[in-house]
C-alpha cells in the first residue's frame, strides 16, 4: 500500500495545474462558449502536444498507457478550470469503448487518431425513456444483407456534433443483445439537434430513422456490449468524480476567500459561527469527495462488481457533497452568487450537470445496493 | 374549528374562477408557465393588471378607501389560491405589496392621491432601491446620499440587484440624508423618477441566464422634496415596515402547490420516462406536499388570528424562511424529474417567444432556469441566515 504519486504523476499534476492557471482563463472560457462546438480547436491541439489525449491509450496504438489515476489528475485540473474541451466524450468514453470493445483493426484505425488529436468521438447511449438505466435501450438495430439499419433516438450525446464518429448503442431486433455502432453523423436518416450544455460544452440529441450502416460499422464482434459499456462508464464516473473534486475545491477556496474579505455588520462574514461551520462542512465534503474519486480510480480495473461498487459509491457520495458545496457557495456569496458577475454560478451549473450525468446519487445508491446483494428496486 | 368555506365564500370562489377564465387567455397562461424568472415580465402581466384594476381587485390587501376590494381573509385566500392553480401571472409586488402600503401608512395626502391610483392601474411600475454593493444583509450601512438643495434632494451613489429597474419608471429608495451615531438613523425613504437625468442602469444577468436585476447609478440626480415619504431620517422604520410585507406575503402555499403539481404532472409523463416510477421521486413528491400542507396550515392559522385582530408578528420571517426553502425543494425535484434534459441549455429569452424549435418540450424548457434562478429565494428579501437570526431574537428571545 502506497498512495504517494509517482514522479510522472507529480509532473502531470504540475503541468495540468500550470496550464489551467496560465492558459485557461475566464476570458478563454467566455470565448469558448461562443465557439460553434463550445470549445477551442487550438486548445485541443495543445492537449495533443502535451500528450494528454494519448494518456490512457496503450503504447501499441500511439498512446502513453496511463490509467484512471492519471486521468483523474487531469480531470481534477479540468474541473478547476471549467474546461469545456471534450476530453470525456472523445478520450474517456469514445476511445475507452474502442479500446474495450473494438476489433483489432478498429483500434488500429481509431486510437492513434484520438491520440494525435485528429479525431473526435462521442458516445450516444442515453435515451429519455430509459432515464439512467444503462441496460434499457429501445433503439433497434436490424441486420440486413449489406449491414445494419438503426431506428430510435438518443439524448444528451456529449459533444456529439464535434465528433466525426459517434458510437451508438442499439439493441438487436427481437430482444437481442446490445451492440455498438460507429456512426458518422452525416449519415442519411440521422437528425442531430445540437445545444449548449449546462456548465459548458455542447450536447446533442439524435433521431435515427432508417439509418443504413455497412457491416463493418459494428464496433467489436457480436457479443453483448453491455459489460463494456458498464466498464467504460464506471471509468467515466471516476473521471467525473475527479473533475467534481476540482470544482468543489475551487468553490471552497473562493468562498473562503470571499467570506474572509466581505464585511457586513462591521466584521467579515466568516466571523459568524454559522458561516464558519458551513465552510467547515464544505471542506469535509471536499475531502470525502477526494477520497472517493481516488478510490474509484484505483478500482477502475478491478473485477466488475468491485469496480461498480467503487464507481457508484463515488458518484453517490460526491454527488451529495457537490450539491452541498455548490449550493452553499452560492448562498454564502449572497446575490453575487446567483448572477453571472462571478464564476461561482459557472461552477454551480457544472456541478449540477455532474450530478445529473449517468444518474444522481440515489440512482447510484440503488446500484451499489444491488451490486452488494441487498434487496433494492 | 373547521377548514371548509361558508356558502358565500364558495360563491365568491365561483366568481373568481369565472373572472380568471374570462380574463386570462391561454397564450398568457403559456407565457407565465414559461417564465423562468422570479418576477414575470411586464408584457405578460399588463392585460391581467388592467382587468383586475377595472374589477377593483388590483390590491387585495389595501384598505377599501384607497381602492382595496374589502375582502375577508377567507376571500383573499380563495383569490390567491384560484390564481395560483389557474397559472395566472403574478403581478409585480413592488407597487401593490411594497411601496403601496408605505405610502398608505406614511405618505402625504398628495402622495396618496397621486401614486396610489397609478399603482392600481399599473401606470407606474416600481422598483426597489435598497441594496448597495457594500450593503446587503447590513442594509442600514447604506451610503447612497441625498443632499438637500432648495426644493430638491441631489442623489449620488449606486444601488444594486435592483429587480426590473430596466422596466420601472419609479423607484422607492433608501438614501442617507445625514450622518448619525446610529447607522439606522439619517436614512430617508424617497421616490425617484427613473427618467431623471443622471440615472444609468447596468444590466446584470442571473445564473439562469435572465436579465432581471441591475445596478443603478445616480449622478447628481435631482428628486423633488415632495417625493420624500414621511419624515426625513425616519426611512429605516418605513423600510423595515415594508420588508415585513415583502417577507410575509402571507399566502404563498398556493403557488408552491401549483408548482409542485406541475412537477408531479411532469413526473407522470412519458416525456420524462415516467420519472415518478423512481421510488425516490415519488417519496420526495409526498415529502414536499406535506411540507406545503404544514405551510398552508400555518398561513391559515395566521389569517385566522388576523381575522380576530391579532398581529402576525415574527411569523413573517418564519414564513419567508419556509417558503424559500420549499420553493427550492420543488425546483430541485423538477430538475431530478427531467433527468437527462436538465443538461439542455436554451440561451434565448423570453422562452414564450422563441423563434426556433427548442431541443425539449415546453413543459421541460423552464425547469432548469427556474431552479437556477430559484437559488435567489434564500437570498433576496433578507437571506435565510438573517431570517434565522430574526426568529432566534423575536421568537426565541435569544
Ligand atoms: C434575484 C434577486 C433580486 C433582488 N432584488 C432586489 C431589489 O429589487 N432591490 C433591492 O434593494 N435588493 C434586491 N436584492 C438584494 C437582496 O436583498 C440582497 O442580496 C440580500 O439582502 C443579501 O445581501 P448580499 O447579497 O449583499 O449578501 P451579503 O449580505 O453579503 O451576505 C452574504 C452571505 O453571508 C451571510 N451573512 C451575512 N451576514 C450574516 C450574519 N450576520 N450571520 C450569518 N450569516 C450572514 C448571508 O446570509 C449570505 O449567505 C435582490 C437579490 C437577488 C438575488
Q: Residues A58-78: what's their mean pLDDT?
A: 97
User: What are the DSSP calls for B302-334, one per residue?
Assistant: HHHHHHTT---TTHHHHHHHHHHHHHHHHHHHH
Q: Give the closest of A129, A203, A338 to B343, CB-based.
A: A203
Residues 6+ apart with CB under 8 A from B389: none
Residues of chain B found within 8 Å of residue A339, distances taken between Cβ atoms? 204-207, 213
Distance CA B93, CA B77 (A): 17
Distance (Å) from the alpha carbon of A69 to chain B's nearest alpha carbon:
27
Q: Which of A155, A335, A340 sits opposite B136 (nearest CB)?
A: A335
Q: Are residues A242 and A201 in the same domain?
A: no
What pLDDT is recorded for position A23?
A: 95
Q: Are residues A99 and A135 in the same domain?
A: no
From the CB of B242, is ligand 1 less than 6 Å away? no
Q: Considering the domain B251-395, what is its CATH architecture?
A: Up-down Bundle (1.20)
Q: Whose CA is nearest to atom 34 of ligand 1?
A: A332
A188 ligand 1 Cβ < 6 A: no
C-alpha B138 – ligand 1 centre gap (Å): 9
The CB-side HSE value for A58 (13 A sphere, CA atoms) comes to 8
Residues A97 and A131 in one domain: no
B140 lines ligand 1 (CB under 6 A): no
For residue A25, give the CATH number of its domain.
Answer: 1.10.540.10
Nearest to A196 among B204, B271, B347 (CB): B347
Contact state of B207 with A130 under an 8 Å Cβ cutoff: no
CB A143 within 8 A of CB A183: no
What is the rounded distance in angstroms from the CA atom of residue B268 to the CA atom of residue B284?
Answer: 14
List CB contacts (< 8 A) between A131 and chain B.
272-273, 275, 278, 339-340
The answer, yes or no, to whether any atom of ligand 1 lies below 6 A from the CB of A262, is yes
Same domain, A244 and A283: yes
Q: How much is the pLDDT for A377? A: 58
Confirm or reject: Cβ of A4 under 6 Å from ligand 1: no
Kindly report the backbone phi and psi dihedral angles of residue B170, in degrees, each rounded to the nearest multiple of 5, phi listed first.
-140, 145
- Does A164 fall in a domain? yes
A211 Cα: distance to centroid of ligand 1 (angstroms): 54
Q: Is A200 on the interface with B (CB under 8 A)?
A: no
How far, in Å, CA of B312 to CA of B321, rounded? 15
Cell output for A361? 446519487
Same domain, A259 and A301: yes
Contact between B12 and B75 (Cβ < 8 Å)? yes
Task: Dig out the grid coordinates for A34 from the structure.
Answer: 461562443
Mutate to test the pocket of ligand 1, among A259, A335, A338 (most ligand atoms within 8 A of CB): A335
User: Who among A131, A335, A345 is closest to B273 (CB)?
Assistant: A131
Model pLDDT, residue B249: 46
Q: What is the mean pLDDT of residues A8-20?
A: 97
Query: Is the pLDDT reported for residue A28 higher than 70?
Result: yes
- Select from A266, A275, A338 the Cβ nearest to the Cβ of B207: A338
Phi/psi at B211 (nearest 5 deg)?
-95, 100
Please name which of B147, B149, B239, B144 lies closest in space to residue B199, comparing C-alpha atoms: B144
How far does residue A334's CA lie from ligand 1's centre (Å)?
5
Q: Report the distance separating Cα A315 and Cα A172, nearest Å.
A: 30
Return the pLDDT at B243: 72
Cβ atoms B222, B153 nearer than 8 A: yes
Residue A256 buriedness (CB in 10 A; 0-12 / 13-18 / 19+): middle
Flag whether residue A61 sits within 8 Å of chain B, measured between CB atoms. no
Residue B300: all three cell numbers together: 391559515
Contact A29, A90 (CB under 8 A): no
> What are the sequence ranges of the domains in chain B?
7-91, 126-233, 251-395
* Residue B364, φ and ψ in degrees, nearest 5: -90, -30
Shortest alpha-carbon distance between residue A237 and chain B (Å): 16
Report the residue of chain A nearest B210, measured CA to CA.
A339
A344 CB near ligand 1 (under 6 Å): no
Among A61, A84, A119, residue at a domain's last position? A119
Domain ranges, residue A279: 226-371
Phi then psi dihedrals of residue A179, to 5 deg:
-130, 160
Full 3-state SS string of A46-62: HHHHCCCCCCCCCHHHC
Q: How many Å apart are CA A368 and CA A305, to the nearest integer? A: 9
Residues of A in contact with B372 (CB under 8 A): 338, 345, 348-349
Q: Candidates 2.40.70.10, 1.10.10.60, 3.30.1330.80, 2.40.110.10; correct CATH number of B126-233?
A: 2.40.110.10
Q: How far apart are CA A356 and CA B145, in angstroms?
A: 47
Low-confidence stretches of chain B (pLDDT beneath 50): 248-249
Active site residue B246: yes
Chain A hits for B385, Cβ within 8 Å? 272, 274-275
Q: Phi-psi bin for B90: left (phi > 0), alpha (psi -120 to 50), beta?
A: beta
Pocket test for ligand 1, best of B37, B136, B321 (most atoms within 8 A of CB): B136
**Own/partner long-range contacts of A254-260 (Cβ < 8 Å, ≥24 apart):** A254/A329, A254/A342, A254/A343, A254/A344, A255/A279, A255/A282, A255/A328, A255/A329, A255/A332, A255/A333, A255/A344, A258/A332, A258/A333, A258/A336, A259/A332
Pairing of strands A263-264, A218-219: unpaired
Do A231 and A138 lie in one domain? The reply is no
Closest by CA to A249, choosing from A159, A308, A321, A168, is: A321
Eight-state DSSP code of residue A6: P
Tell me whether residues B368 and A274 touch, CB distance under 8 A. Answer: no
A271 lines ligand 1 (CB under 6 A): no
**Residues A110, A126 share a domain:** no
Distance of CA B87 to the CA centre of its chain: 16
Of residues B138, B373, B378, nearest to A265 (C-beta): B138
Could you tell me which of B376, B361, B372, B290 has the C-alpha nearest to residue B335? Answer: B372
- Residue A328 CA to ligand 1 center (angstroms) comes to 14
Residue A347: closest CA among chain B residues belongs to which residue?
B207
Q: Taking CB atoms and an 8 Å limit, are A198 and B344 in contact across chains?
A: yes
Angle, nearest 10°, between helix axes A344-356 and A226-261?
150
**Is B130 close to ligand 1, i.e. is its CB under 6 Å away?**
yes
Catalytic residue among B41, B246, B299, B346: B246
Which residue's entry shows cell 438614501? B175
What ipTM describes this predicted complex? 0.96
Each as own residue / partner, the long-range contacts of residues A263-270 (CB below 8 Å, 24 or more positions apart, any chain) are: A264/B135, A264/B136, A264/B137, A264/B138, A264/B141, A265/B137, A265/B138, A265/B141, A266/B138, A269/A332
Q: What is the mean pLDDT of residues A21-33?
A: 94
Q: Do A356 and B340 touch (CB under 8 A)?
A: yes
Find which of A261, A338, A358, A377 to mutate to test the B interface (most B CBs within 10 Å of its CB). Answer: A338
pLDDT computed for residue B248 by the predictor: 47
Residues of A in contact with B138 (CB under 8 A): 264-266
Give the residue whose CA is nearest to atom 33 of ligand 1: A332
Grid coordinates representing A174 are 427481437
Average pLDDT score over residue span A181-210: 97
Nearest CA to ligand 1 atom 27: A334
Same domain membership, residue A248 and residue A142: no
Same domain, A271 and A140: no
Average pLDDT score, chain A: 97
pLDDT for the residue numbered B38:
86
Q: Which atom of ligand 1 is nearest to the CA of B213?
A: 3
Between CA A234 and CA A303 the distance in angstroms is 12
When pLDDT is averaged across residues A159-173 and rounded to a whole number, the result is 97
A260 and A213 together in one domain: no
Q: Whose CA is nearest to atom 31 of ligand 1?
A: A334
**Ligand 1 pocket mutation pick from B94, B175, B380 by most atoms within 8 angstroms of CB:** B380
Nearest Cα residue to atom 36 of ligand 1: A269
* Prediction pTM value: 0.97
Nearest to A356 by CA among B203, B17, B341: B341
CA neighbor of B366 nearest in space, from B34, B41, B39:
B34
The residues, ordered by sequence, that sit 6+ positions from B114 with a Cβ below 8 Å of its Cβ are none
Q: Provide the β-strand partners of residue A204.
A: A157, A194
Preferred mutation among B36, B279, B344, B383 to probe A, highest tally of A CBs within 10 A: B344
Dist CA B109 CA B65 (whole Å)? 13
Query: What is the Cα–Cα distance from A239 to B337, expressed in whole angstroms?
Result: 25
A362 shares contact with chain B (CB less than 8 Å): yes
The verdict on residue A333 lying in a domain is yes
Is A335 found in the same domain as A246? yes
Asked if residue A376 is part of any domain, the answer here is no
Buried b (16+ CB within 10 A) or exposed e, A18-40: ebbeeebeeebbeebbeeebbbb
B257 Ramachandran zone, left/alpha/beta (phi>0; psi -120 to 50):
alpha
Q: Please state whether the peptide bond connecting residue B315 to the residue before it is cis, i.e. omega within 30 degrees of 0.
A: no
A vs B, Cβ pairs < 8 A, gives 118
Last residue of a domain, one of A179, A195, A219: A219
Contact B378 A272 (CB under 8 A): no
Number of domains in chain A: 3
Amino acid at each position: 500500500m502506497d498512495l504517494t504519486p509517482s514522479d510522472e504523476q507529480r509532473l502531470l499534476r504540475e503541468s495540468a495545474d500550470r496550464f489551467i492557471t496560465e492558459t485557461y482563463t475566464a476570458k478563454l472560457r467566455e470565448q469558448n462558449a461562443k465557439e460553434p462546438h463550445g470549445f477551442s480547436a487550438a486548445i485541443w491541439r495543445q492537449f495533443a502536444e502535451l500528450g494528454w489525449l494519448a494518456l490512457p491509450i496503450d503504447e501499441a496504438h500511439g498512446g502513453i498507457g496511463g490509467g484512471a489515476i492519471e486521468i483523474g489528475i487531469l480531470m481534477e485540473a479540468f474541473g478547476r478550470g471549467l474546461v469545456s474541451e471534450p476530453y470525456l466524450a472523445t478520450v474517456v468514453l469514445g476511445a475507452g469503448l474502442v479500446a474495450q470493445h473494438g476489433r483489432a483493426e478498429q483500434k488500429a484505425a481509431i486510437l492513434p487518431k484520438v491520440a494525435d488529436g485528429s479525431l473526435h468521438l462521442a458516445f450516444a447511449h442515453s435515451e429519455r425513456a430509459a432515464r439512467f438505466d444503462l441496460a434499457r435501450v429501445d433503439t433497434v438495430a436490424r441486420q440486413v444483407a449489406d449491414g445494419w439499419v438503426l431506428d430510435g433516438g438518443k439524448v444528451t450525446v456529449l459533444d456529439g456534433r464535434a465528433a466525426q464518429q459517434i458510437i451508438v448503442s442499439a439493441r438487436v431486433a427481437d430482444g437481442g443483445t446490445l451492440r455498438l455502432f460507429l456512426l458518422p453523423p452525416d449519415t442519411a436518416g440521422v437528425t442531430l439537434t445540437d445545444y449548449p450544455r449546462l456548465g459548458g460544452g455542447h450536447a446533442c440529441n439524435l433521431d435515427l430513422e432508417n439509418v443504413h450502416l455497412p457491416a463493418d460499422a459494428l464496433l467489436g464482434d457480436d457479443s453483448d456490449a453491455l459489460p463494456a459499456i458498464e466498464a467504460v462508464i464506471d471509468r467515466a464516473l471516476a473521471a467525473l468524480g475527479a473533475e467534481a473534486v476540482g470544482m468543489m475545491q475551487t468553490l471552497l477556496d473562493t468562498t473562503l476567500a470571499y467570506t474572509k474579505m466581505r464585511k457586513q455588520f462591521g466584521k467579515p462574514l466568516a466571523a459568524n459561527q454559522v458561516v464558519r461551520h458551513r465552510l467547515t462542512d464544505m471542506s469535509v465534503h471536499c475531502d470525502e469527495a477526494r477520497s472517493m474519486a481516488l478510490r474509484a480510480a484505483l478500482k477502475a480495473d478491478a473485477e466488475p462488481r468491485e469496480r461498480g461498487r467503487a464507481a457508484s459509491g463515488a458518484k453517490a457520495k460526491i454527488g451529495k457533497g457537490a450539491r452541498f458545496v455548490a449550493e452553499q457557495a452560492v448562498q454564502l456569496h449572497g446575490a453575487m452568487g446567483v448572477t453571472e458577475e462571478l464564476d461561482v454560478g459557472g461552477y454551480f451549473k457544472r456541478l449540477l450537470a455532474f450530478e445529473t450525468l449517468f444518474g444522481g446519487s440515489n440512482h447510484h445508491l440503488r446500484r451499489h445496493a444491488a451490486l452488494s446483494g441487498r434487496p433494492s428496486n | 374549528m373547521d377548514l371548509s368555506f361558508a356558502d358565500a365564500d364558495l360563491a365568491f370562489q365561483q366568481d373568481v374562477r369565472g373572472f380568471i377564465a374570462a380574463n386570462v387567455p391561454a397564450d398568457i397562461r403559456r407565457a407565465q408557465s414559461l417564465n423562468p424568472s422570479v418576477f414575470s415580465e411586464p408584457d405578460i402581466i399588463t392585460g391581467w393588471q388592467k382587468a383586475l384594476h377595472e374589477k377593483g381587485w388590483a390590491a387585495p390587501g389595501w384598505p377599501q378607501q384607497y381602492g382595496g376590494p374589502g375582502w375577508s381573509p377567507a376571500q383573499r385566500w380563495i383569490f390567491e389560491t384560484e390564481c395560483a392553480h389557474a397559472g395566472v401571472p403574478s403581478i409585480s409586488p413592488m407597487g401593490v405589496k411594497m411601496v403601496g402600503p408605505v405610502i398608505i401608512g406614511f405618505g402625504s395626502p398628495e402622495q396618496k392621491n397621486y401614486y396610489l391610483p397609478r399603482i392600481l392601474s399599473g401606470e407606474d411600475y416600481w422598483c426597489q432601491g435598497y441594496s448597495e454593493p457594500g450593503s446587503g444583509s447590513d442594509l442600514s450601512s447604506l451610503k447612497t446620499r441625498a443632499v438637500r438643495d432648495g426644493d430638491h434632494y441631489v442623489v449620488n451613489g449606486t444601488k444594486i440587484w435592483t429587480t426590473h429597474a430596466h422596466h420601472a419608471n419609479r423607484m422607492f429608495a433608501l438614501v442617507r440624508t445625514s450622518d448619525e451615531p446610529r447607522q439606522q438613523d439619517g436614512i430617508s425613504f424617497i421616490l425617484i423618477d427613473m427618467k431623471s437625468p443622471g440615472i444609468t442602469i447596468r444590466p446584470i444577468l442571473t445564473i439562469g441566464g435572465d436579465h432581471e436585476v441591475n445596478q443603478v447609478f445616480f449622478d447628481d440626480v435631482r428628486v423633488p422634496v415632495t417625493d420624500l415619504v414621511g419624515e426625513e431620517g425616519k426611512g429605516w422604520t418605513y423600510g423595515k415596515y415594508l420588508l415585513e410585507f415583502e417577507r410575509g406575503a402571507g399566502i404563498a402555499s398556493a403557488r408552491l402547490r401549483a408548482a409542485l403539481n406541475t412537477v408531479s404532472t411532469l413526473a407522470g409523463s412519458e416525456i420524462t420516462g415516467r420519472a415518478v416510477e423512481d421510488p425516490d421521486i415519488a417519496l420526495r413528491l409526498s415529502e414536499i406536499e406535506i411540507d406545503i400542507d404544514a405551510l398552508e396550515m400555518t398561513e391559515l392559522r395566521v389569517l385566522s388570528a388576523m381575522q380576530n385582530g391579532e398581529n402576525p408578528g415574527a411569523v413573517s420571517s418564519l414564513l419567508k424562511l419556509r417558503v424559500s426553502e420549499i420553493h427550492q425543494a420543488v425546483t430541485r425535484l423538477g430538475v431530478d424529474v427531467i433527468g437527462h434534459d436538465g443538461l439542455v441549455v436554451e440561451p434565448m429569452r423570453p422562452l414564450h417567444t422563441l423563434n426556433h424549435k427548442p431541443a425539449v418540450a415546453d413543459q421541460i424548457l423552464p425547469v432548469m432556469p427556474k431552479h437556477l434562478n430559484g437559488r435567489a429565494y434564500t437570498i433576496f428579501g433578507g437571506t435565510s441566515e438573517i431570517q434565522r437570526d430574526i426568529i432566534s431574537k423575536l421568537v426565541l428571545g435569544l
